[in-house]
Structure 1
């Protein structure tokens, strides 16, 4: 079982003129706390979970945070007054100046890239048959099993998921194969299943390098694994809580991490928002 994760080798986008910048350049992987950014002008590139959280935390101490993103969700979020939302970066002009796609320029002391990670398996030998091409690990069945060598599996490759839920369902699925309860299709059928998924994603407009992305497909993915392996389906309440937390992040970025969720049953939960008293909780 290959369980080395994919949040270690950072992706740095190519930015015109980046060699001119004399300030500090970092990746969100290296962030530990906001202390080093006190009174700095910080440019954050990328609006995934890391970009959103770092913008919120660093703005507590920074002189200014320039939040570069094209996210429609971020456009609606409310941050501190020292957060300035900017479009994508077009180029770096000089040792401290960045130009954005709207033609505006800003000075910054630090650039933090919140631009994701790449899959990396430096310990695998070519003989295992696994290749990483354009962000896709292949050949895999159900994003888990090495089709050529099915006694090898990968846990946790999908992204835009509730990570630990993914680990749990995938591991239970694979253990059913190991104990003989799950009979895999033929090699040809597994290859065809993977090709069918690639074709379906392409028809939906999902770029090929996002083959392992789940997002709105997450619940179906879990359900399919559970049905094939004969394991207990993931309770609907788990992803309902994830989606509720995501909505809360969008509406109250500064307080959503203080929310509390109480599970009532497999379908329902109670949300205690950080900004309200428990008697005024929201039941879903």
Structure 2
């Protein structure tokens, strides 16, 4: 990477597609934000190459954006792929995701190994210091609504309405959760990911039971899966559709009326 003489940017610093006007560009990584950034930049750039290893990539993704495996090396003006092929580019945007980092905590307070944070109960509560509660550990979920659930549970823990299990019980629960993920075929780095199957909804129901309140209404689960499906089949237009929640289990598409 040190050899590359073009423009290099991490997606967290991306603001305007116009910065890449007329350039040939490689985007490394293609999660949700990586896909969105690639499509935005493609409107201004000369050519965009999105480099990723995703299996279930949206078939509705623009055909003029070329897809390649992740590149393994960079020269002063190109990226090189595992098979030795090479593409000349003027700029590279990295979307590798994020790693957990808590430099403001004293060494030894938490342990991070292969993106698994310990000792943490329910992906949010420090087992040794239960008044230390994290809101940003769980990933790949309906963040803002789940954060409301986190906050309600946290308040009930701090004011004493929720009594936590013993330290040994919390450690066992944490390890059982991790071992189940491994059994399901997930990588160890997915210790806190909620985006596979029903995990985020089971997690939400679990926290709600612990907090003594109702979980998120089932309509949100329905709408979540509908929108994910729409993104897969119509990635260029799915964000333009408006919905109205009409009940605990129902919603309607306002653009189809």
Provide the TM-score with structure 1 as the length reference. 0.85
Q: Secondary structure at the match of 2:53?
A: coil
Distance 1:104 1:122 in 2: 40
Equivalent pair of 2:26/2:89 in contact (CA under 8 Å): yes
Q: Which residue matches 1:153?
A: 133
- The answer to whether the 8 Å contact 2:58/2:232 transfers is no
Shift of 1:103: 4.3
Query: Contact 1:140/1:194 (CA < 8 Å) preserved in 2?
Result: yes
List, as ranges, runs of 4+ consecutive aligned residues in structure 1 with deviation greater than 4 Å.
none
Identify which of 256, 263, 273 aligns with 2:245. Answer: 263
Structure 2: how far apart are the matches of 1:193 and 1:31? 39
TM superposition shift of 1:234: 0.7
Give the conservation status (yes or no) of the 8 Å contact 2:58–2:235: no
Given the alignment of the two structures, is residue 243 of structure 1 paired with residue 210 of structure 2, yes or no?
Answer: no
Counterpart Cα distance in 2 of 1:207 and 1:59: 32
Quote the RMSD (CA, aligned, Å).
1.6
Select which of 227, 239, 248 maps to 2:209. Answer: 227
Q: Tell me the CA shift for residue 246 of structure 1.
A: 1.8
> What corresponds to 1:278 in structure 2?
256
Q: Quick one: distance in 2 between partners of 1:114 and 1:271?
A: 32
Question: Is the counterpart of residue 194 in structure 1 residue 153 in structure 2?
Answer: no
Instruction: Say whether residues 1:120 and 2:97 are aligned partners.
Output: no
Superposition deviation, residue 71 in structure 1 = 1.8
Aligned twin of 1:28: 11
- Aligned equivalents of 1:98 and 1:156: distance in 2? 33
Deviations 1:99-135 (A, max 9, x none): 22354321111110111111121211237x2222221
Is 1:45 matched up with 2:28? yes
Structure 2 Cα separation of the partners of residues 241 and 156 of structure 1: 23
Local SS of the residue matching 1:72: coil
- Structure 2 contact 112–118 (Cα < 8 Å) conserved: yes
Give the Cα separation in 1 of the matches to 2:70 and 2:43. Answer: 23
Look up the match of 2:150.
170
SS of 1:264 mapped into structure 2: strand
TM (normalized to structure 2)?
0.93
Q: 1:130 and 1:104 mapped to 2: Cα distance?
A: 43
- Tell me if structure 2 keeps the 8 A contact 1:226–1:233: yes
5+ unaligned residues in a row in structure 1: which ranges?
Answer: 1-17, 280-284
Equivalent residue number for residue 43 of structure 2 = 60
Q: Contact conserved, 1:156 with 1:166, CA < 8 A, in 2? A: no
CA shift for structure 1 position 164: 0.6
Aligned length: 255
Give 5+ residue unaligned stretches, structure 2: none
SS in 2 for 1:158: coil
Contact residue 75 and residue 85 of structure 1 kept, 8 A: no
